[in-house]
Amino acid sequence: MTLLVFAVAALWILVLVLATVVVVMLRQIGVLYERISPMGALMDDAGPRVGEPGPRFTPRSLTGPEIIVGGAIGRAQLLFFLSPTCPVCKQLLPVLASIRADEKAWLDVVLASDGEESKHSDFIRREKLGDFPYVLSTELGMAYRVQRLPFAVLTDKAGVVRAKGLINNREQLESLFSALSAGVPSLQQYAVDHAAE
């Protein structure tokens, strides 16, 4: 009987020690999260630079009337390069739908890709993308020097590139809008500029 009481007491002590370790680790994770700022979209210098006008195109649209990409069209555009075979692209589609609905007063969201029209038509139908402008243009991707997907470019109403980069999650996509609001090319540049202060 004494051995049983001792064993139960030892187990309770072990549970309390483990609970303390978990709480300490959670606190450390929180401190680490506060110290590390979000990275934002992974910007590269290929293609039109931030602050330069983006190229103007009238690519073929698969979901409706002809659409103008780039140039001074009086509205900002989020040009999102994707592929039907890209799993990250598919995960970001609900985020794009949400952004499109929330920012429709000033922003057009345009999906862009290249390749065979039949594959894209199936993708549009399967993912219910008929409400989005969806354009096919190899030249558009080449003009922006898109090397990896998904890639996004945010232009203002004058057609000037305000933010761009490789997008792997919602936070990186939203970082384009944060960079636009802060008036910087990217959140990385913002962090560098303010680290010196």
Specify whether 65 is located in the same domain as 156.
yes
Is 191 within the bounds of a domain? yes
If asked whether residues 25 and 88 sit together in one domain, one would say no
In a domain, 47, yes or no: no
Number of domains in the chain: 2
C-alpha triplet 69, 110, 183: angle, nearest 5° = 80
| Confidence (pTM) | 0.76
Spell out a b/e string for 155-167, using b for 16 or more CB atoms within 10 Å of the CB, else e.
bbeebbbbbbbbb
Task: Please indicate, yes or no, if residue 106 is contained in any of the structural domains.
Answer: yes
pLDDT at res. 2? 86
Task: Confirm whether 109 is domain-assigned.
Answer: yes
Q: Does residue 12 form part of some domain?
A: yes
Q: Which amino acid is it at 121?
A: S
State pLDDT tens for residues 9-28: 999 999 999 999 999 999 88
Give the structural domain span for 67. Answer: 60-195
Task: Decide if 50 is inside a domain.
Answer: no
Is 60 exceeded by the pLDDT of residue 64?
Answer: yes
Tell me, yes or no, whether 21 and 65 share the same domain: no
Domain match, 6 and 87 both: no
Residue 169 inside a domain? The answer is yes
Same domain as 171, residue 96? yes
> In this structure, are 69 and 156 located in the same domain?
yes
Q: pLDDT by residue (tens digit) across 116-150?
A: 999 999 999 999 999 999 999 999 999 999 999 99
- My answer on whether 77 and 10 are in the same domain is no
Rounded to the nearest angstrom, the gap between the alpha carbon of residue 8 and the centroid of all alpha carbons in its chain is: 52
| CA dist., res. 69 & res. 151, Å (int) | 15
Stretch 89-105: mean pLDDT: 95
Q: What is the CATH number of the domain that holds 120?
A: 3.40.30.10
27 and 97, same domain (yes or no) = no
* 32 and 67 together in one domain: no
Instruction: Identify whether the C-beta of residue 75 lies closer than 8 Å to the C-beta of residue 133.
Output: no
Residues near 92 by beta carbon (within 8 Å), at least 6 away in sequence: 80, 82, 150, 167, 169, 170, 173
Residue 49 lies in a domain: no
